[in-house]
Amino acid sequence: MRARRERKSSSMAINMTPMIDVVFLLIVFFMLVSAFASAENVPLHLPEPQRSQARQVELADRLVINCIPADPADPSAGVHYRLGPNRRQPLSEISNAMDAARQATPDLHVVIRADRRLPWADVREIMKLVADHGIANMNIVAHVGSAEDDR
């Protein structure tokens, strides 16, 4: 009877090292991706359409143009245009970059992010430049949410 009671207990061990390695790699990957994605977004006060049918679109081949007031206190003082997070650029440089991007990617998408405080003429100017380059895929970014989000 004693032989039955003295069984060897078998224990199973799980090696956690590979799982920890994978988790750390995923954390590093997502930290890097979020840093690159947020670099394109310059802080702007986007307009809020009342009856928007907008939806989030992921574009692989896109050119992001940010339109920012030169003086945030006085939006009628002028506008600064930027390609993504880059420094302020004149329209001639943006036009040259559009030409190069259009040649590299025939199905180029242009995303225009304009501050809501800007006069319509400043936004229309960059839209006309996009149309002059024959780019048919142009999106205008607007904030879809409540007014309390900006406060």
| Sheet bearing 79-83, strands edge to edge | 79-83, 62-69, 109-114, 137-141
6 within domain boundaries: no
30 within domain boundaries: yes
86-103 tens-digit pLDDT: 778 888 888 888 888 888
Amino acid letter, residue 64? V
From the list 143, 126, 140, 123, the residue with the least C-alpha distance to 75 is 123
Pairing outcome for strands 79-83 and 62-69: antiparallel
73 within domain boundaries: yes
Q: What is the pLDDT of residue 21?
A: 93
Which residue range forms the structural domain that includes residue 57? 16-151
> Quick one: pLDDT band at residue 6, thresholds 50, 70, 90?
low
DSSP state of 76: G
8 within domain boundaries: no
pTM exceeding the 0.75 threshold for the entire prediction: no
99 within domain boundaries: yes
66 within domain boundaries: yes
The number of domains in the chain is: 1
10 within domain boundaries: no
7 within domain boundaries: no
CATH of residue 77: 3.30.420.270
If 0-12 CB within 10 Å is exposed, 13-18 middle and 19+ buried, where does residue 66 land? buried
As a whole number of Å, the end-to-end CA separation of the chain is 78
Report the C-alpha gap between 68 and 139 in whole angstroms.
17
Report the C-alpha gap between 115 and 44 in whole angstroms.
5
Q: Between these two residues, 76 and 29, which has the higher pLDDT value?
A: 29
47-93 tens-digit pLDDT: 777 777 766 554 457 888 888 888 878 767 788 888 877 778 888 88
CA angle 124, 127, 130 (to 5 degrees): 155
131-150 tens-digit pLDDT: 998 888 888 887 665 545 44
